[in-house]
Amino acid sequence: MSTTDHRKATITGLRALADFLDTNPDVPVPRTSISITYFPDRADDAGMRAEIDHIAELLGTEIDPGRLPYSHYRTGLDFGPVRYEALAVLAAARARHEAVTSYEDCIVPDTTVNPAHAA
């Protein structure tokens, strides 16, 4: 599917979902906010930041300073409880994640049931 076709399909799907929820009021919706997040293709940090900066310009928004300490370069625009955001996970955050998950196969949880905790 081309980028243009995918974009059209996404917009059509969102409208169809909104129409469905509007005409089916008994179907619950999340009580929390809903986010649609765009992630740029992985590149060097400068390239990903430049793409997010461009998106911020298109949206008329700023970069979220609260996520910078976590190496998440993010901007977004809220439509009530629905948010469109663009997020680049920078190299430092990816390295931290890889370090944490590198131990996954080294740890085997004890799955036996302790009778004292079964009740």
Q: Whole-angstrom Cα distance, residue 71 to residue 1?
A: 32
- Terminal-to-terminal C-alpha distance of the chain: 53
Domain-embedded: residue 58 = yes
Mean pLDDT by 10 residues, the chain (119 residues): 89 97 97 95 93 98 86 93 94 75 75 66
Residues 19 and 51 in one domain: no
Range of the domain at 9: 1-31
Assigned token pair, 11? 């917009």
Residues 20 and 53 in one domain: no
For the whole model, what pTM was predicted?
0.75
% the chain with pLDDT above 90:
62
- Predicted pLDDT of residue 95: 72
Indicate the SS3 state at residue 87. strand
